[in-house]
Structure 1
Amino acid sequence: MTTAAAADLAARGLAVFPLPPGGRKPTGPWRSQCLTDPERVQEFWREGDNIGVGCRASHVVGLDLDIEGDADGQAVLAALAERLGEDWPDTLTVATPSGGRHLYFAVADGCTIGSFSGGRSPLGPGIDVRGPGLRSGGYLIGPGSVVGGKPYVIVRDVPVQPLPRWIGNRLTTR
């Protein structure tokens, strides 16, 4: 199952690498293990491995909309969009085991948006950012992965869309 999910992500243009079964953290030099060819994924992947998506190699920025305690990243992003008169971004969206969401956005090669977490995101509380960064970039746990017995599942199956300007401006003016 995870091999097929990893190959599907590679076919979508995302660079994937293996994470330990049930795990969230890479055990080695994951940046050099990113694969974008679905056939290579089929050859290389060990069934049961979780899936990492390298942001720099994929040319994506990921928004991790957490729901923890008083922080509700989905509500914070929705309020920001409403305040600015913008629509909710319609892009590839993945449900996380905690009830949050990962939103995937395409960025140009050379984009240097970094990663922010723990309430330091310029977008507001409950919104972590995983970006390409200056050198190595961050990563997201991909759909098809299972952590704590709960899966990451695609809930909006559309192509990855360009990073909306109203979000990008807040991430690059820091």
Structure 2
Amino acid sequence: MTSDDRFGQAAALIARGLAVVPLPPGGRVPEPGWQRLATRNPEVLPELLAGDRNIGVGCRASGAVVLDLDVKGAVEGRAVLAALADRLGEPWPETLTVDTPSGGCHLYFRVPADCTIGSSSGGTTALGHGIDVRGPGRRGGGYVVGPGSIVGGIPYVISHDVPLARLPGWIADRLTTA
């Protein structure tokens, strides 16, 4: 992926109202203080993403919650979320979806400015095994690796290009009572 492609991906995220942050080239973990760099200003992208930096999305600055549906061993986050939705009689969430190098995906959702859903991962979240949550939290919030980034030679790619949906109540209820 060229620098122009990455800038285009980052600009498209900003156009969706998401705030981007720089991640190291080929990496997933931002430098300390990354929250101060979160921006919705496309004019700073050439400087922000210089040196083939990857793209992160800051959840607090974006007003977003992202579900990271992992694939780890026998646990498949998509299947866990699909089973929960089916058990509750709810439809699969129709929202921006980004496929990840592991074979999983990120589901992006809008949340109100006063949302304090925190980030959680590893083990079981309130939604089940294989589902990590990145949210605004109470302070700095979480982040995810954004589309246009490359980790281990494999890109993060938008697979369902639709607007961000509002976080469904059946998901929000589980995350706010956890």
Bin the TM-score by the shorter chain: over 0.9
Unaligned ranges ≥5, structure 2: none
CA distance in 2, matches of 1:84, 1:4: 38
Residues 138-157 of structure 1 mapped to structure 2, 5 A cutoff: 138-157=142-161
CA distance in 2, matches of 1:90, 1:57: 22
| RMSD, aligned CA | 1.1
Q: Check the 8 A contact 2:70/2:102 in 1, yes or no.
A: yes
Q: Equivalent residue for 1:59?
A: 63
Q: Which amino acid aligns with 1:62?
A: V
Q: Check the 8 A contact 1:4/1:42 in 2, yes or no.
A: no
Q: Check the 8 A contact 2:63/2:136 in 1, yes or no.
A: yes
- Are residues 44 and 26 of structure 1, via their aligned partners in 2, closer, same or farther at CA, if it must alter by over 3 Å? closer
Q: Check the 8 A contact 2:49/2:55 in 1, yes or no.
A: no
2:87 equivalent among 75, 80, 83: 83
How much has 1:141 moved relative to structure 2?
0.3
Q: Equivalent residue for 2:174?
A: 170
Q: Equivalent residue for 1:118?
A: 122
Q: Could you give the per-residue CA deviations for residues 10-68 of structure 1, whole angstroms, max 9, x where no partner exists?
A: 11100001101100001231100011022232454315110010000000000000011
SS in 2 for 1:78: helix
How much has 1:7 moved relative to structure 2?
1.3
Q: Which amino acid aligns with 2:116?
A: T
Q: Could you give the per-residue CA deviations for residues 78-133 of structure 1, whole angstroms, max 9, x where no partner exists?
A: 00000000000000000000000100000000200011101231000000000000
Q: Equivalent residue for 1:13?
A: 17
After TM superposition, the structure 1 stretch with the greater mean CA deviation from structure 2, 85-94 or 25-34, is 25-34
Q: Which amino acid aligns with 1:77?
A: L
Q: Which amino acid aligns with 1:46?
A: A
Unaligned ranges ≥5, structure 1: none
TM-score when normalising by structure 1: 0.97
Q: Which amino acid aligns with 2:86?
A: E
CA distance in 1, matches of 2:49, 2:122: 32
Q: Equivalent residue for 1:72?
A: 76
